[in-house]
Structure 1
Amino acid sequence: MSFDAAQLDSKDLEISLCRWRWRSSDRMPYLSHTRYELPLLLEGRKKLARMSDAYPPMKFEGEDRFDHWVAKGVLHREEVNEPFDKPVQTSHGQIYLGHRTVYYTPKGEEWRIPASRLIWDASGKSGGWNEHFERLEGMLFGYEDWQNDWWIKRGITGGGFGGLSCCCTMTAAGLTWIEAAGFRALPPIDRPTLTIRMHDWENEADQYAAMFGDPDSVAVGRFNMLGRDFMNFWKSQCGGPWELPAGSIAEFNRFLRGSVEIVARRDGAV
């Protein structure tokens, strides 16, 4: 593939190239709006764009290109500036005075801006962001239902708003119990502790094989939990694996997000 910048007839041209490395399970089956906001807004496929960052500067990269279409009456723009109580200085000496958000919509879609702000306000008053708020925001942005379905499933199973992705082994009796419970909770155990590990997305096959080193284990279950809830169960918040006392499993189950997924079975396990 070749590219001739001269064909663009521009004397002041900036070209940025980046390469994203995705796991095969992460490859999106649709075009993400990120970094394509302006052309998708103009095309009508995107209904809302939100640019948000600390200030100064009072401008995001490429803002003039968006405002060009605002001046032409094609896009609607709103800006919200929220000053900090006092300036914040980073370890590099940068001083920030507040948080700035700029919204853009096609003309006629202005209602999406207060709707977006309402969703964020509601999430802050109801325990934090979750998959339901994520879906509503995706709908406001203009993503299709099947695209939101894929994104939310990925978020729930892969961390992010779905929480930490963890895993543990279970015995044949535990597997039978969890199936009978509809995969809604981790099973009780007949040993002192249950070993919990962070799921290793990059080396999951090796991780499962190592976990099957316990001869009584017949399956590996993966589940999600918000980080703040997860860390409340441990005196040490770093490292892992963690040993969950058998008597704490019922309480631990109260904080699971979504169902427990059986991601690996020992040969012969049903």
Structure 2
Amino acid sequence: MADIGETAYPAVMLPNLLRSLPYLVHTNRELGLMLAGEKPLASFVDGKGRFPEVVVRYLRLFDRHVANGRILRRDHYSDAFGVTPYVKHRILFALPGEEWRMQAMIDLHEGHAAWSPELERRERGLLGYADWMNDYWVQLVYVHRDA
């Protein structure tokens, strides 16, 4: 399963919540945004060998850009947690000069058991969402949920 806003599933499958935002999510647009220099990092995560075929096909679109150095790729594996019986596989893509974001994303997810609005904000910042977008998202997802 990919991170929120970072999946490769068709837009028709996106929850109404994501489609109702006052900005465009990066979902299904990661590669184009990266090639345009507008997105510094993309992150996809699922169990090792468990990515759906549609995601695998989408990830293959990055291959030639990785081969020519226009985009960097890093694969990270970590132990499963909770009830997941498989190894977690995170695939990260970064623009040259932004590769520090790869390790920061790994550290963010490996170093915290409980997720919070602050971690959500940091993750979305690493992915290239603007502060105002993160403010809107956190308000919508966390503040309204807890109200």
Structure-2 residue corresponding to 1:101: 90
| Pairwise CA distance, 1:123 | 2.1
Q: What are the within-5 Å matches in structure 2 for residues 160-175 of structure 1?
A: 165=146
* CA deviation profile, 1:86-113 (whole Å, cap 9, x unmatched): xx7xxxxxxx742211000011100001
Alpha carbons of 1:121 and 1:56: their partners in 2 closer, same or farther (altered >3 Å)? Answer: closer
Q: In structure 1, how many angstroms separate the alpha carbons of the residues matched to 2:80 and 2:118?
A: 29
1:111 counterpart (97, 100, 117)? 100
Equivalent residues of 2:11, 2:28 under 8 A apart: no
Q: In structure 1, how many angstroms separate the alpha carbons of the residues matched to 2:23 and 2:98?
A: 23
2:44 counterpart (45, 51, 59)? 51
3-state SS of 2:88 partner:
strand
Alpha carbons of 1:17 and 1:120: their partners in 2 closer, same or farther (altered >3 Å)? Answer: closer
Structure-2 residue corresponding to 1:77: 73
Please identify, of 100-109 and 59-68, the stretch whose mean Cα deviation from structure 2 is larger.
59-68
3-state SS of 2:21 partner:
coil
Normalising to structure 2: TM-score of the pair? 0.77
Normalising to structure 1: TM-score of the pair? 0.44
Q: In structure 1, how many angstroms separate the alpha carbons of the residues matched to 2:90 and 2:99?
A: 15
Aligned partner of 2:65: which letter?
A: W
Structure-1 residue corresponding to 2:7: none
Q: Which has the higher contact order (CA 8 A, sep 6+)?
A: 2
Q: In structure 2, how many angstroms separate the alpha carbons of the residues matched to 1:19 and 1:136?
A: 26
Q: Verify: 1:22 aligned to 2:16, yes or no.
A: yes
Q: Provide the aligned C-alpha RMSD in A.
A: 2.5
Alpha carbons of 1:20 and 1:63: their partners in 2 closer, same or farther (altered >3 Å)? Answer: closer
2:126 counterpart (140, 147, 155)? 140
3-state SS of 1:100 partner:
strand
| Pairwise CA distance, 1:72 | 1.4
Alpha carbons of 1:139 and 1:99: their partners in 2 closer, same or farther (altered >3 Å)? Answer: same
Structure 2, unmatched stretches of 5+, are 1-9
Percent identity at matched positions? 29
What is the number of residues matched between the two proteins?
Answer: 132
Which of the pair has more CA radius of gyration?
1
Alpha carbons of 1:146 and 1:98: their partners in 2 closer, same or farther (altered >3 Å)? Answer: same
1:41 counterpart (19, 29, 34)? 34
- Give the helix-richer structure, 1 or 2: 2
Equivalent residues of 1:56, 1:97 under 8 A apart: no
Alpha carbons of 1:20 and 1:116: their partners in 2 closer, same or farther (altered >3 Å)? Answer: closer
Q: Verify: 1:150 aligned to 2:136, yes or no.
A: yes
- Give the strand-richer structure, 1 or 2: 1
Aligned partner of 1:76: which letter?
A: L
Stretches of 4+ moved more than 6 A in 1?
Answer: none
Please identify, of 74-83 and 57-66, the stretch whose mean Cα deviation from structure 2 is larger.
57-66
2:116 counterpart (109, 130, 140)? 130
| Pairwise CA distance, 1:84 | 5.5
Structure-1 residue corresponding to 2:60: 64
